[in-house]
Every structure is written in C-alpha cells, then in structure tokens.
Chain A
Amino acid sequence: MVGQISSIPWLSLLTFSPLLGVLILLLIPKERVFAIRTIGIVTTFISLIIAVVIYAGYDASKQGNTLLEKFDWISIPLNLDVAKGIQSWTLDIPYHLALDGLSLPLVVMTTIVAAMSALASVSIRKRQKTYFILLLLLEVGMLGVFMARDLFLFFAFFEWTLVPTFFLIGIWGLANRERAANHFLLYNGLGSALMFVAFAILVATAGFDQITDTSGAVKFVYSGDLYTIVNHLQSSGAAANLGHSPFFLSEGWRMGTFVLLLIAFGIKLPLFPFHTWMLKVHAEAPTPVVMLHSGVLLKMGAYGLIQFGMVLLPQQLADWATVLAVLGIINILYGAILAFVQTEFRLVLAYSSISHMGFVLFGIAAMNEIGLQGAVMQMVSHGFISALFFLLVGSLSERTGTTRLDELGGLAKRIPFISALLLIAGLASLGLPGLSGFPAELFSLLGLYGNLPWAATIGAFGVILSAVYVLRGVLAITFGPIAAHHQQLKDARLVEAVPAIVLTACIVLIGLFPSLVTAPVEYGVSHIIDMFKVGG
C-alpha cells in the first residue's frame, strides 16, 4: 500500500474534470443544442485522455504502484469528555483518493463508456442542457467511487451517483420512467442505508486512532480512512488478543458487518433476489443512460465487495466463500434461464447482466489471484459489452420503435452494420475466444475451480445457457425474414458507428490481450490474496 504522491493532482483532475464541462454548459443558453452536445462530448473525452495517460504511465511491474492523494478535509470535534493529556477527540474525514491496480482498469473503462455514452446521447431530443449536465455529474460520481479510499468519501460518491441517475431516468426515460426512477432511488437508498450502518460500525471501532503529535499532545481520532481501518482490523483479530481495545470488533460483529456489506453491494451488483429494481431501469431508462448504468454503475457493487468487503473482512469472506459461490451459481443460472424466456430484448440483456455478474461472484469466491483477475476482467468486459449492446438497442429502437423480439426479424438485410455488431456483442457475451467475455469467464472459472471445484463445474453449464439466450435474442432480431415495414430502414450514421466501433475495438483488444486488464489487477490484488494466505 505504499503510494506515490505526484506533484500534479492527477486523480482529482481526473475525477472532477467533468465539472469543467458542467460550468461551461451552465453558461450556454439551452437553445444552442449543437454547442451543448459538443461541450458535453468533448468534456468526457478530456477525462478519457487523462485516464489513458495515467494508464500508460502505470508500471504494472512495480508492486503496489498506487497513485495517492490525501489531505485533511473535514474534522468534526466530538463532544466527549477530554481527559488530561488528550488534546482533542475528533471525527476526521480525510479527502483520500488512490488509484491502484484494482481501480485502474475500472476507471479507464468508465471514462471510455462515459465518452461513448455521451456520443450516443445525441439521440436525446429534449432538454439537452440539463441532460448533459447530469450526465457529467454522474461521471464525477462514478470516477470518485472507484478512487475514494475513505469510507465517508466513498459513501458520498456512491450516493452522488444516485441523484443524476434518478433524474436521467425520470425525465428522459420511456413510458414508465417515473416509476422506474422511483424504484431505483428507493431500493438503492435502502442499500446505501445498510452500507452506512456497516461503515459506521467500522469507523466507530476499527477507525479509532490515537495520534501523538510532536509536542507530545495526544489526539483521539475516529477516521474513515480505508488503510487505517484495514491495519486495525488486521492487527486486532481474535488472534491478536486485544480484548477490550477500542479497535476490537468481535467475530460476531465482523460477520454482521460483512453481511450488511454483502447486501448493500449485492443490491447494486445485483444479487438474486435483490435484482428486480434494475430490470425496470434497463427497460425504461434512455439507452445512453443504460449504457452507463449497466456498463459502469452495476460494477460499483462488485467493486465495493472486493475493495471493502474483501479487503476489510477477509476472514469473513473466506468463511462465506461457499455462500458466495452458491449465490454466483444462482445468479448465473437464474439470470440465464430468465433471459431465455423474455420477449423484450432489453430484458434479455438485463437478465444476461445478472447471469454475467455471477461470474464476478465466482472470481471473488475463488479467493486466489486468478479468480480476482477474472472477476475484474469480467467487470471490465461486461462494461464494454453491455455498453455496446445498449448503444445498438438505442439505434434499433430509434429506427423501429420497438425492441420486442416478436416484432423484429431479418434486420441484417437492411441494417447490416448494426446487425453485425449486435452479433459480435452477442458472441462476446456468450464467451467466444478472441473477444473479452471468454478470458473473463475462463479466469473466474479457473480460479474458483481451485477453491470449490463443484461450484465451478455447475457454473460452467451457464456457458451453454448463455449461448442459448444470446443466440435466441440476437438471431430473432437480425436473422430470418424481414417485415415489410422494415424494408426502408437506414444503417448506422457516423455518430452511431464511431462509439460502436470503439467499444467493439475495446472488446476485441482485451479479448486478445487480457493482460491489459489482468496485469495491473495482479499487483492491485496481491495484498488482498496475501491476507488469505496468512490467514490460512
């Protein structure tokens, strides 16, 4: 966890770069749609460039290579009895961003998907100014989530994403948009509440720190700093025999906290049976927002589970590995079977996301490097694939007015480009080698097989089912006879083709060279895996 502090605050620049666009957008009159779109799109590309520059400079071979930014931010004095010798007793919320090998691929993926989503947003036909402002604000929240290393800061960014998403769904969505937005907010709010309780428990116990400054004065501090809490939890396990130390968090409390975190992040992931809220989002939200939602926002759940659940409470995770694997099996099979019977293509994709997230759970339950590399690979891969899928779904519904499987067919004849990419997205989704889905699922399965062979074996059958539902969905749209009223459809315009090609290129690139993702991850997760090795 040794970090390097750069003279230029790259991480803050990256996180808050979209705000620049927000400021400019505020100054532009809402009638100037072209300017608004341009500013919105260009801003996302600035973030993308910064992320790529950081990625290019990241030396994966250097163990624990982490960019770090930390300074005191908020300090709340606590109204507790101050004994002699103790100067103060405060609750500190430091501003602490870091970019390690685990976050890096996700951050790069976020900026790419956000930029492509902004390009796809030219299809938005009303209130473009508000729309792009919200979209950029959403990007800030997403980037912050992946970089925050303070529990409060993480929580704040996590909540931050809810607000723009709520409005983006509620204002620009389809017929039932308000209901979908409502469910989204309430259900995620519930998850956040559970996360907050878990974080509060952690801060109140393991977050306690005693600092003696140079003058000999002692300060008692409650801190949400992730690394402080990790250190305290590690050194104050049952084995450390610290008894009544304020750091102490009994096994029972730890387990309870772990379950709270599992549910909180499970809602986001989504984990069966907490998944139904996201079906409505997939079905009702405007497609550029679904690109971000399915591509990036869902990954926050899996990311949280690794960066907080796994790092903070490794022993509990180890105890629950079997449970996680079983939950993974349920997600994979349940999602796949339900995807198979949907008649609305958006729902096919929504259930397919549930199925694919099962492989992330597999990778986590594996508790080894291979598995975790697979889990992160799957997060990145699925981010690109579902972004591509929903980009194309947007293009389809703009042309045909429907994405119902029984109303479509034979579109390959009139819109071969869109159809071809839809097929590529489908093949990537069902795990064809050469595309990103394959190494992701392979590594997750390889990892899990080392820990729980039976679970990996059952999960492998998901590979058959994914072929079944993907081909059913995609071929129903592109193959077969074409309806007479679809004879006049026009193929993709340039502004649609560019993001589609970029996303496809990403899928192919990391499919052929998975080490683009797995190499940083390997060093980002090795300290997590070490904890399992020490703990036995």
Chain B
Amino acid sequence: METVFSQYAWAIPTIPLLAFLVLTALGRQIKGAASLLGLLSSLAALVLSVLVLTERWSPDAEVYSHSIDWVNLGEVTLRVGYELTNLNVLMLIVVTIVSTLVNLYAKGYMEGDDRQHVFFAYIALFTSSMLGLVVSPNLLQLYMFWELVGACSFLLIGFWYDRPAARAAAKKAFIVTRIGDVGLLIAILLLFWQMPDHSLDFSVIQTVFQSGDSLAQHGITAGIATWIASLIFIGAMGKSGQFPLHTWLPDAMEGPTPISALIHAATMVAAGVYLVARTFSIFHVSPTAMAIVAGIGGFTAIFAATIGLAQRDIKRILAYSTVSQLGYMMMALGLGAVTAGVFHLFTHAFFKALLFLGAGSVIHAVHTQDIFQMGGLGRKMKVTTWTFAIGAMALSGIPPFSGFWSKDAILAAAWEQDHKLLFVIGVLAAFFTAFYMARLFFVAFTGKPADDQIYQQAHESPSSMTIPLVVLAVLALIAGFVYTPFNGQFGIWLTGEPAEDHANVLVMIISVAAGVCGVLLGYVLYRPGQSQRVDKLEQAAAPLFRVLERKYYIDELYNWLIVRPLRVIGKGLDIIDRYVVDGLVRFISAFVDGWGRTSTRVQNGQLQTYGIVSLFGFVALVLLMLALGRGFW
C-alpha cells in the first residue's frame, strides 16, 4: 500500500512541540490565543494521525520505520526515529483525540487564570512527549519520552505551585514513578549488553524473543528473560500506578482537572500498559513474568476498587478507579490477552477522560470536591449529569456502553484460561466499581442539595467545556463496538494473530450481573429522597471503612519504613561527615598550623637556640649516614 502520510508521521509529535516552543517564547504576549494555539496543534496532530490510520486498515500493513543516528558510543550507534505499527497508531489516535478535547475544555476551565499560557505550553509539551513515546522505534527513545511525560506530569500536578499540597503531590509523583523508572533503566542496561549488536529496537527484540530457540541462539537464558521482563514491568508499575507504586496517582489529583483527565486517566498512566504490550514478546517467553504481571494487575484491580468505596473526594474516587482499571489491563496482559488489555486501554481512555472532565465541570461550578457537599446537581447541570451518567455506566460495565465490551473481553480471557482466582477478582472488582460509581452519582447528582449555598452557585459549564463532554460521551458509547465477541477483526488487526472466540455467554451474564448488582446496591444505599449527609457504608462498618478511607495506611507505612529511616540515616551521616570525616581536614590544618607555630618559636633570634638546633641536626645527620653505611661525599 502506498504510504503517503506515514512518512510524515514525525510531524505528529513535532507540531505540539512547536506549539510548546512558541507558547514558551511568546506566551505572555499572546495570552488569550494560547488555548487556541494549543488546540490547533493537537487538532493538527489528530488529523495527521487519522490520515496515517487510513493507511493502516489492512491487518498486514507493513511496519513503517525511519530513524537517524543520535550518538556513536564506541562501536555502538544509538538511533532515534519513529515507527508505525497498528498498536502505535491506535495509541496516536487515543492521545490526540483526548488531547484535543482537553485543550478545548481547558479553555473554559482555566478562564481567568493569569498563567494560562504556561498551562497550555505544558499541555503541548506533554502531548508532544506522549506522541513521541508512542512512536518510539526503540526502548531507549521510549525511555527518554517516558521520563519527559513524567516531568510534564510533575509540572502540571504542581501547576498551582503555591499550594503546599500541590508541591508535595508533584514531588511524590515524580519520585515514586522514578522508582519504577530505575527498573526500566536497569532493564535497558541489561538488554543493551544481551542483545545482538546492542540493539534496543522493538523489532529486533521481537525477533530475538519470539521463541525459546531464537533466545538460545543469542545466548539469552530464561532467567535473564525473566529479569528483563520483570524490570520492565517495574517501570510499567510506576507509571501505571500498580501496587505498591500506586500512591502517587491519587495525590496527583491536586493538579487542574483537565490534566487529571488527559495525563492521569487517559494517556500517560496507560503508558505502562502500552510498554508491556509493546515488549510483550519478552514477557511471553517467561511464564514467571507473566504470572507477576497478572498477579500484580489483579491485586491492584481489587485493592484500589475497595479504596474507592470509602473516598469522599470526587476526583480521588475516580483516581482509585483509574488505578483499579489499569490493574485490569495489566491482568489481561499477564493472562496473555494483549488485545483485550489494549482494548480496555482504548475504551477506558474515553470514558475515564469523560468522567474526569465531568467532575471538573462540577468542581468548576461548585468549588468543592466533596461529594457529600454536593447533591441535586442534576437539576442544574443537565449536560454534565447525562454525560457523566454515560461515563459511569461505561465504567461500571453496563451494556452496551464501551466499558462492558472491554471488561467482558478480559473476564472471558481469565475464564478461558481457567484462572479462577483472577476471574473472581475481576468480577468482584467490577461489582465494587459499579457500586462506588453509583454512590458517587446518586450522592452528587441526585437527591436534595446537601448545602444550599453550594447549590445556589451551581450552574452548567460553558460550551467549550460541554462539547468535549458530549463528544467523549458518544465515544464512550460506541468505542466498544470496535471489538465485540461477534467481531474479532480488531484483534487480528492489532496483534496480527487470529482473535480467539471470546463470545462466552456465561461470562457475559456474570459480568453484567456484577455491574447491575453494584449499581442496585448503590441505589439502595444512596438513593435520592433520603438524608444524604451520612455515608451508609460508614455507619454499617465503621472500622473497616476507616481502613479503606485511609487507603490501608500505605502512605503511613512508607513514611515509617522509607522516608523517616532515610532521613535518620542522612542526619546520622551528616554528623559523621561533619565531625569524623571532616576531622581529617581539621587535623591536617591543625598540624600544619601547629608545626608553623613551633618552628616560629624556634626562630627566636637567640644564638643559643640556634646552636642547640644545629647540634641536634648534625648528630642526626651523622647517625643517618652511619646507619646507611655510606661515606660522606
């Protein structure tokens, strides 16, 4: 097939980068036009991505790859460039759609903020980095953009830098994801020295790791493959908020809400899932690594879902939901169901971005994030409420919304592999998810207003904010039809392998039942028309609720186990450095000083002293010569 647009794919990340540069240089001057520039750059990237997609309809479209030399290291040349596979292009579409909508939305949301141009510059830089990450042809380039998206995330979480909470959250996000990044970095070091010709290209990785034979041929043992896969997964865990590196993601909600939608729901946090999918051949040869991925993913899915039950902050509920859904995706990958995992990434991007933007619309109107201070918003914010309901149903796995199809695909994979534990976890997590979304929806949008003052100021958001909501609601509704149990084309297109028939009626029934039961239970407990100032769940099981509300005390645990010991060690070493290590310097200076003073005292101008010194000196010399057994000259 003729590739006209694919060869210009390098422009997809470059256009937002240019927007970033212009906004950084001229931001102050163009101020109002900043949002327009951001929007146009994302839109241009979207259009180009769609054009590229049209060239890749056929499942056997060839991988388009182009790269140039970056740096020569000894006999090794590191290269940078771009590569288009069907998976990459799917990601391009997701990123550019959400980025475009978020840019539009942010125009309304950030109205009046006098650092708007900085905000849009950061978004443009993020979009560019995320697109660069997606098209990377090798692991090293991916790592570079991986770090850059992390830095953008950091900048945007700390956008309102004068708030101490934002400062703490930004710092935490950077450091916790860095822990994961070191795993990925070590994986790169290991791969670099294991791979033929030190190649880090994904295509070469795929060739080398395609089977046990090819591995043996290149002298890579199964143990090393497991190590590489596990280390890569540690990197993915950090980015995608998998337990135990999840703690940064809920705190990241300190950032402006459009950012939460773009970075911390739809795109960057999914990069971990994308990474595992991209390097899947490495995981595939190691059953241990697959079990780790599935196990961590499944645990995170249920773990975060339970925390979501007890949060009052609308954004934090959604954040834990994101952690939980990312766990789902990882679980799917660990089960070998790449298509299902990536499919869930795809649908989740839309409905979770929708939910966050909806939450942002609410926060914009009522200036509180506590759902128990809201109530009855449905009467005043029609568009927000309806679109939010669609997003909530998609997330809860209610057919025919998109979340149902992707969640069902994952559960079907667990079922077919006869992985009972993960299947039960998946169903339970789906139930919890439906329940906390029902709780959120009924408490915030229906019933009597909890606070009249807050209710008074509630109003529907401007059209720049509601249009993205509507578009995303449509996507949340239809995105699922890309890959239904009755149409497996998407699987063939994405992975090149024939899709397994995952039309399992029993699984579908269980899946729907879990979602419906969750919603019903939520309705029963939090239905409109009753006093909403108390949390029914809290009344029912206060001690358990407390544990969930405090997120299983994980933050406290890290504080006691890591942060404080590090500080104590640091303080201890500081004292040693000051008094012991520096003692050496002081000793030397004191010695020189003392020597100088003593010698000064000897040179006191008295002939007797000089005579004595000369005599001693002479005797010493004579003794020395005799001892050496040599004559005088």
Contact = CB atoms under 8 A, between A and B. Distances in A.
Chain B, interface SS category? helix
B565 to A, nearest CB: 11
A94 interface: no
Given A273-B584, A432-B147, A464-B178, A341 B571 contact: yes
Contacts of A479: 158, 161-162, 166-167, 170
A522 B74 contact: yes
Contacts of A480: 161-164, 167
A515 interface: yes
Interface stretch (A157-165, A222-230, A366-374): A366-374
Interface in A450-505: 450, 453, 456-457, 460-461, 463-464, 467-468, 471-472, 475, 478-482
A412 B571 contact: no
A276 B585 contact: yes
A413 B167 CA distance: 14
A439 interface: yes
A211 interface: no
Contacts of A434: 144, 148
Contacts of B193: 449-450, 453
Interface in B179-214: 179, 181-182, 185-186, 189-190, 192-193
B582 interface: yes
A167 B70 CA distance: 44
Contact of B585 (A183, A431, A461, A468): A183
Nearest to A469: B570
B182 A338 contact: no
Contacts of B73: 369-370, 373, 443, 446-447, 518, 522
A277 B585 CA distance: 7
Contact of B582 (A276, A447, A449, A529): A276
Interface stretch (B347-355, B465-473, B573-581): B573-581
Contacts of B592: 186
B566 A337 contact: yes
Interface residues of A, number: 62
Nearest to A334: B573
B175 interface: yes
Interface in A327-365: 334, 337-338, 340-342
A218 to B, nearest CB: 26
Which of A412, A453, A471 has the most chain B CB within a 10 Å cutoff? Answer: A471
A481 B164 contact: yes
A471 B174 contact: yes
Contacts of A337: 566, 569-570, 573
A438 B144 contact: yes
B96 to A, nearest CB: 22
Given A183-B585, A478-B161, A514-B71, A456 B189 contact: yes
A190 B588 contact: yes
B145 interface: yes
Contact of A464 (B179, B190, B581): B179
Contacts of B143: 433
Contacts of A519: 72
A402 interface: no
A410 B181 CA distance: 29
A10 interface: no
Interface in A390-445: 410, 412-413, 427, 431-434, 438-439, 443, 445
A467 B162 contact: no
A276 B581 contact: yes
A366 to B, nearest CB: 10
B239 to A, nearest CB: 15
B567 interface: yes
A442 to B, nearest CB: 8
Given A183-B589, A276-B582, A480-B161, A338 B175 contact: no
The 10 closest A-B pairs by CB, nearest first: A369-B74, A341-B570, A433-B144, A276-B582, A479-B167, A449-B189, A479-B161, A370-B73, A515-B71, A467-B178
7 contacts: A274-B584, A337-B573, A438-B147, A446-B73, A456-B189, A515-B71, A522-B72
